[in-house]
Amino acid sequence: MKICRFDDDRVGIVLGEEVADVTDALQPIATAQYPFPRHDVLVANLERLRPAMDKLLPDAPRRRLADVQLLSPVANPGKIVCAPVNYADHLAEAMGEAEINHGKSISTIAEAGLFLKATSALQGCSHGVVIEHEQSRNDHEIELVAIMGTAGRNIRHDEALSHIAGYAIGLDMTVRGPQDRSMRKSVDTFAILGPWMVTADEIRDPEDLDLLLSVNGEVRQRANTRDLVMKIADLIAFATSYYSLAPGDLLFTGTPAGVGAVQPGDRIQAHIDGIGSMDVPVRGKRGVAR
């Protein structure tokens, strides 16, 4: 099942070029009270809500996907966990290019550990990226994102994949510079998630998916998730050996070689097999184009 959020917080199921509005299925979770949970309530209740979504589907109002604004498929992740240098070719690129490493020594992921992006950076693909620091280099990083479905701490490798609710495409947008990574990667709109969430049952092998990122039609990043240095199960085990993960938490699994700058007015096309494609506008502070 491909589940999207669109327009004014509608929830839909994507069917080909259309989206079926099944927002009414969320009735059972519309009663959250203060203090609100720190995880995503829709993802936490997804298995419970799926039968109601299926029941609504035949008569659900349909819209053309091209006519809706796609929001981040997860509304309220408690954490955005990210893997640095998790493809060997990107590690080599980051070590070799001063504009990427800014004089900092780049180590392996096992040494460097994982990092967090602020959840306020989260944005859907239709809104796109807003470049606020035009004097700096602003890079795209396409990444497979695993969306946690069930909570856990010290999750074992052999159980890790069963904690995943689904997958989406992520853009870990990055300002290059000497500042702390958690600031450079947390600019508003610098965590793009889209175009929808594909439930885990539809992805046969998350570690055999082709990724492709183009800017204005020019291919920049092309890879396959089989080349992940630290595998998805290992990332979850590694992360949860430090902190718990909760439903809706996002795990950005790392980017392959080919990272590069974007400018206001550019369009980023991102594709991952089994998930789909998204076309993401890059805006300046004052609008789409300069």
Q: What is the DSSP string of the chain?
A: -EEEEETTTEEEEEETTEEEE-GGGGGGGTT--SSPPSS-HHHHTHHHHHHHHHHHGGG--EEEGGGS-EEPS-S--S-EEE-SS-BHHHHHHHHH-HHHHTTPPP--HHHH--EEE-GGGEE-TTT-EE---TTS-EEE-EEEEEEE-S-BSS--HHHHGGGEEEEEEEEE-EE-SSS-HHHHT-STT-EEEEEEEEEGGG-S-TTS-EEEEEETTEEEEEEEGGGBSS-HHHHHHHHHTTS-B-TT-EEE----S--EE--TT-EEEEEETTTEEEEEEEEBTTBS--
CA gap 290, 288 in Å, rounded: 7
Give the binding-site size for Mn ion (rule: CB under 5 A): 3
**Residues 61-120 interacting with Mn ion (rule: CB under 5 A):** none
In whole angstroms, how close is the CB of 56 to Mn ion at the nearest point? Answer: 37
In whole angstroms, how close is the CB of 273 to Mn ion at the nearest point? Answer: 19
Please identify, using beta-carbon distances, which residue of 52 and 118 lies nearer to Mn ion. 118
**Residues 157-186 interacting with Mn ion (rule: CB under 5 A):** 172
Please identify, using beta-carbon distances, which residue of 138 and 255 lies nearer to Mn ion. 255
In whole angstroms, how close is the CB of 253 to Mn ion at the nearest point? Answer: 9
Please identify, using beta-carbon distances, which residue of 49 and 142 lies nearer to Mn ion. 142
Residue 253 binds Mn ion, judged by CB under 5 A: no
In whole angstroms, how close is the CB of 141 to Mn ion at the nearest point? Answer: 4
- Taking CB positions, which residue lies at the least distance from Mn ion? 172
Please identify, using beta-carbon distances, which residue of 141 and 266 lies nearer to Mn ion. 141
Please identify, using beta-carbon distances, which residue of 65 and 230 lies nearer to Mn ion. 230
**Residues 117-146 interacting with Mn ion (rule: CB under 5 A):** 141
In whole angstroms, how close is the CB of 252 to Mn ion at the nearest point? Answer: 6
Please identify, using beta-carbon distances, which residue of 255 and 269 lies nearer to Mn ion. 255
> Closest Cα to residue 116, out of 72, 71, 160, 172?
172
Please identify, using beta-carbon distances, which residue of 172 and 266 lies nearer to Mn ion. 172
Q: Binding residue for Mn ion (CB under 5 A) from 138, 186, 255, 269?
A: 255
Q: Give the binding range for Mn ion (CB under 5 A) out of 59-67, 159-167, 200-208, 250-258.
A: 250-258
In whole angstroms, how close is the CB of 259 to Mn ion at the nearest point? Answer: 8
Q: Encoding tokens for residue 54?
A: 């299926």
In whole angstroms, how close is the CB of 185 to Mn ion at the nearest point? Answer: 7
**Interaction site with Mn ion (CB under 5 A):** 141, 172, 255
